[in-house]
């Protein structure tokens, strides 16, 4: 599978989503799509990241941007996480790692001294025509939402 790069069209993908939906990228044509990959529901960094996007949802909406979170967790786990954190956006389940592979976010990570395969926290911004316009890899949660909003604001000028 080819790796995506800035300026390339993102293939139309389909994924299981919270709210008992199946989401297609093409459903969001005409809007920016912020696709953020995170390692695991209900963990401290992932919770903080999701809360930050949640707390700035009005700003994202004003910038014509829909947010979608992605991890390998099940829809049931996503539903609990979304409900508990009151996320106003959907979470996609990628337990077969199709999106993870498309966006090349599965990496070897060190956890408790062991090497494990996991999602490298990453965010991708797709424009209203379906073109990848920005990516953040090895995301640090602190200030990440502000960085994303800053880029969106420059794209709107």
Tokens of 78: 């996503």
Q: Is residue 5 part of a domain?
A: no
* Domain-embedded: residue 61: yes
Report if residue 94 sits inside a domain: yes
Does residue 38 lie in a domain region?
Answer: yes
> Which domain CATH number covers 40?
3.40.30.10
Residue 3, domain member (yes or no)? no
Total tally of structural domains belonging to the chain: 1
| 3-class DSSP assignment, residue 126 | strand
Distance CA(129)–CA(144), nearest Å, equals: 24
Is the pLDDT at 117 greater than 90? The verdict is no
For 55, the domain range is 14-156
CB-based contact 108:97 (threshold 8 Å): no
Residue 67 lies in a domain: yes
Active-site positions read 46
What does pTM read for this prediction?
A: 0.94
Phi, psi of 105, rounded to the nearest 5 degrees: -110, 0
Average pLDDT over all residues of the chain? 93
For the stretch 54-101, pLDDT in tens is 999 999 999 999 999 999 999 999 999 999 999 999 999 999 999 999
Taking 70 as the threshold, does the pLDDT of residue 1 lie above it? no
Binned at pLDDT 50, 70 and 90, residue 2 comes out as low
> In this structure, is residue 1 part of a structural domain?
no
């Amino acid at each position: 599978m080819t790796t995506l790069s800035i300026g390339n069209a993102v293939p139309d993908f389909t994924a299981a989503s919270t709210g008992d939906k199946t989401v297609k990228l093409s459903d969001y044509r005409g809007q920016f799509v912020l696709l953020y990959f995170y390692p695991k529901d209900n963990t401290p960094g992932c919770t903080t990241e999701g809360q930050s996007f949640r707390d700035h949802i009005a700003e994202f909406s004003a910038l014509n941007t829909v947010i979608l979170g992605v991890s390998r967790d099940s829809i049931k786990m996503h539903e609990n996480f979304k409900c508990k954190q009151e996320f106003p956006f959907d979470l996609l389940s990628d337990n077969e790692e199709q999106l993870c592979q498309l966006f090349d976010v599965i990496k070897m990570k060190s956890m408790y001294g062991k090497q494990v395969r996991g999602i490298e926290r990453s965010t991708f911004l797709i424009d209203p025509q379906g073109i990848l316009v920005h990516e953040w890899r090895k995301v640090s949660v602190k200030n990440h939402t502000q960085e994303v909003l800053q880029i969106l604001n420059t794209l709107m000028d």
